Structure 1
């Protein structure tokens, strides 16, 4: 009798560990960081003569004129290696990501591709403006309000400008004072941040990965409180939490996170009692300036329109218009009011909360993907969760002096 033996059953392969999954994703995340650093368009959009040219434009608008900007813009070319890197990143995303995260990475890579294209088009309105509309939206975009009815952001903006009377507070807070307020607030929040004064800045302030930049001008008292809430409790906390996440997508930002993170920061302004009528009018005017840009209005026409028809000071009219026209028309600013309306409703309905939106640079639509990543051990709750009470009292006292 011939003895027979059954072949040994193959041992089932064990599921990869979290460390193994992250090691597989690491090359993709490295590419994502590399592409996003190249795609930061702000340095390319800041004219070398920003301060002197702005002063000239303000003077002319104040006289009722429609000036033509003479910005000196540096042109940049994106090296072919970055376009190849996007294709390589897409291939890695298909092969190495858990299914729940693939769409999140693909959507962000699509945005970064548009960002790179815009950088190459800086100074060319014909090419850059369609890309900006595609990337950042316009006032034609609809948002669902608290009554569950969709409405165009431009309709909301026009209504705000019609209902709210012009008013601007006196600027009495020196930039050095505001800088110290921001440092104190960051320290109270447990954040390690630099604060720098930048004469070229169009906005009142801007937050990077580990630094906050403020304009070289005086600020109002309410404006100062607003910037503490917006930049520290909003952007800086989200950026600091992002660095603690295992996946770099939450540091680079998910698709659509620009508008939602700005909306979150404005909601924090509101909670701090610093979302005053002038600020609401500015948010509305940014939408109007964006839509006028895309409809063909010149810089001078829009600045004069805001000055004469809507009661903005010459300086405010120029700053609002400059934000829309910078780089030939990289108009991002319709996203502020859109994001605020969208996040405000999400917070009220319980679809999001402040700390969930501060886990990193994340948009509302990607919160379910973040939850999936948490369940798989690829993300975790926020490290930093400061409240208004933690940082605002000292800031308010400082601003009032």
Structure 2
């Protein structure tokens, strides 16, 4: 096993021979491309994001005694039509057994996500979210609580940059990748209808009210651009386009890989690790029946500033109870364990898929069915990256990873 967790002898290097796409049957590729096209029509995260989150923030913080009321954009898709389209995907024609398994799993997940769209902002949504993102087990809650009890808090990061400054930094980061591949489709823009910073498809969306702590700018770029956008570009360049759109349950591994990028570039701060822990605690409180106000008070009791506590609670309570935020810490822990046991990360940069599906993707790579990555995350070229990842995997205490 190679000593560098970011590289291995399998697919993904520039020396790899690219096989003809005809190695998959036409029916295999038709089914995959149809699913990827359909997945691309659904802006799932945007549909889950309140359009007035920033507007009600000041009102709530001035009087944090009443649960805020969030508003959402009209759905871009009709769930009934989307349901029929998912059911009609021609997966029975897929002959490659590995690809068939990957696509079947994603089809089931797409059906669940349609139900989430249909149930958005209703009492039924929370259970669907738990089915999608998994339960928050006591061991993870204990780790999160321990981190909140031991990590320093207060105003740890004095300076922040606004949306325009962060957009300029994002465009410079994108220009780096376009200098390597001028045809790479990566974009960034400021929007009035989002909160914070998020990636949807091939675009980094930045809230006009965004404020990013200055020490966190590079780490956030490696998280959003260097992980989410790079793997989207690499995935869409594969014969299997669903590696760009995302296979089943890819979110947890993607977010874990993105946080690992923050560690690898030396940008994990105490407040960021506290934020990831707070998200787990907030999801646990939500599932336990706590109101928005009760969870907000719980978070401020753990030392989160009022604005940060609001943001964490908003993300968790949006759409009726969005439990996705627990996967950041869980995904990081899973990847650290993977590396600690000799696992490598190279295939994970070829697209968006779960660590659980790594053996299936490895099978495709071993059979020469995957193309090399078009782009490699910039942070992987830094001399200290491999050492930081190895140190993180060997660490007994996540607190030691702060500013590693």
Partner of residue 44, structure 2: 41
The 1:192–1:98 alpha-carbon spacing in structure 2 relative to 1, beyond 3 Å, is closer
TM-score using structure 1 length: 0.83
1:323 aligns with 2:311: no
Q: Residue 157 in 1 paired to residue 157 in 2?
A: no
Q: For the residues of structure 1 that align with 2:79 and 2:244, how far apart are their CA atoms?
A: 23
Cα contact 1:121–1:128 (8 A) shared by 2: yes
Distance 2:383 2:320 in 1: 38
Q: Which residue of 2 aligns with 1:248?
A: 241
Cα contact 1:263–1:341 (8 A) shared by 2: yes
Secondary structure at the residue paired with 1:188? helix
Aligned Cα root-mean-square deviation (Å): 2.3
Counterpart CA distance in 2 for 1:243 and 1:102 is 18
Q: 1:135 to 1:389 in 2, by over 3 A?
A: closer
Structure 2 CA distance for aligned equivalents of residues 197 and 22 of structure 1:
41
Name structure 2 gaps, 5 residues minimum.
1-19, 385-404
1:145-173, Cα deviation, whole Å (9 max, x unpaired): xxxxxx72112111111111213412332
1:352 aligned onto 2:355: no
Find out whether 1:131 has 2:128 as its counterpart: yes
1:346-378 alpha-carbon deviations (Å, 9 max, x no partner): 12333231x321101122122221222234443
Alpha-carbon distance, 1:305 to partner:
1.6
Q: CA contact under 8 A between 1:207 and 1:236: conserved in structure 2?
A: yes
Q: Residue 49 of structure 1 contacts residue 71 of structure 1 at CA under 8 Å; is this kept in 2?
A: yes
The count of corresponding residues between Structure 1 and Structure 2 is 357
Cα deviations by residue, 1:208-264 (Å, 9 ceiling, x for unpaired) = 332211232332122212211111221111111012101122112122210101000
* Match status 1:166 vs 2:153: yes
Match of 2:364 in 1: 373
Query: How far off its partner does 1:109 sit?
Result: 1.2
CA contact (8 A) 1:241 1:382 kept: yes
The aligned counterpart of 2:205 is 213
Partner of residue 78, structure 2 = 78
Structure 2 contact 276–329 (Cα < 8 Å) conserved = yes
**SS of equivalent to 2:51:** coil
1:362 alignment counterpart: 353
Q: Deviations over 1:106-153 (max 9, x none)?
A: 1111111111100011110x200000011012321xxxxxxxxxx721
Pairwise CA distance, 1:20 = 6.8
Look at both structures and tell me which one has the larger radius of gyration over its CA atoms.
1
SS of corresponding position for 1:173: strand
Aligned pairs (5 A) from 1:187-266: 187-189=175-177, 190=180, 191-203=184-196, 205-216=197-208, 217-266=210-259
| Partner Cα distance (1:59, 1:220) in 2 | 23
